[in-house]
Amino acid sequence: MKKYLLLTLVLFGFLQAKAQYNTITLSGGYVFSNIEDSETSASGFRINGLYEYHPIVGKFVHGFSVGYINVSADVEEVSGGQPIVSKYTISTWPFYYAPKLMIGDGSLQGFVKGAFGMQFSTLKIELPGSEFSSNDAGLYAGLGAGVQKEISDKIFINLEYEWAYQSNSYYRDGFINSVMVGVGFKLNK
């Protein structure tokens, strides 16, 4: 464990030395998806933290992200001829590499981004008189686009959309959509 921590610190030190500037962005927003094989749409919220370093040359930015996603839905199923309403709640922790290509110059820029990493999820199903929960982990991969506006030399805001695939049986087809607003801080510019 100490070996991995030391390697991570050395890597961030190297990135800091080779970067024009680094940023931290905190964002949150609305999430929507479908649950399992039902036609029920789930919705919820997402909180995300992103660390990025901007190389001295070029528009390509490297980022590392961690987040929390929570969606829920009421699903009506028929059992023994009687309708039963179940509440599904899914909590996901995605950890991923987030490369970004900045488009344009000046205080307003667009971007396209990728996401590639892993996620840990918990599914909780509440039935009348009982409760079931399970954990899973798998791939997290996606694409996104957005805009970023500088407010000052050190602060910016962004708006983005992200479509992601999770290799997790809790989401039907594994797709999740996020619309987020964030505030970012330039660390060493």
Q: What is the pTM of this model?
A: 0.82
For 13, residues 6+ apart whose C-beta sits below 8 A from its C-beta are none
Is the separation of the CB atoms in 84 and 127 below 8 Å?
yes
Q: What is the pLDDT of residues 50-59, one digit of tens each?
A: 999 988 778 8
Give pLDDT, residue 3: 60
Is the separation of the CB atoms in 32 and 71 below 8 Å?
yes
d(CA 132, CA 38): 17
d(CA 23, CA 45): 23
Give pLDDT, residue 11: 52
Average pLDDT over residues 161-184: 84
* Backbone torsion region of residue 136, taken as left when φ is above 0, otherwise alpha when ψ lies between -120 and 50, otherwise beta: beta
Residue 128 one-letter amino acid: P
CA nearest to 188, candidates 9, 13, 5: 13
Percentage of the chain exceeding pLDDT 70: 84
Q: How far is CA 12 from CA 4, 15, 64, 139, in A?
A: 12, 5, 11, 24
Neighbours of 76 (CB within 10 A): 10
Better-predicted residue by pLDDT, 147 or 166? 147
Question: What average pLDDT does the chain have?
Answer: 85
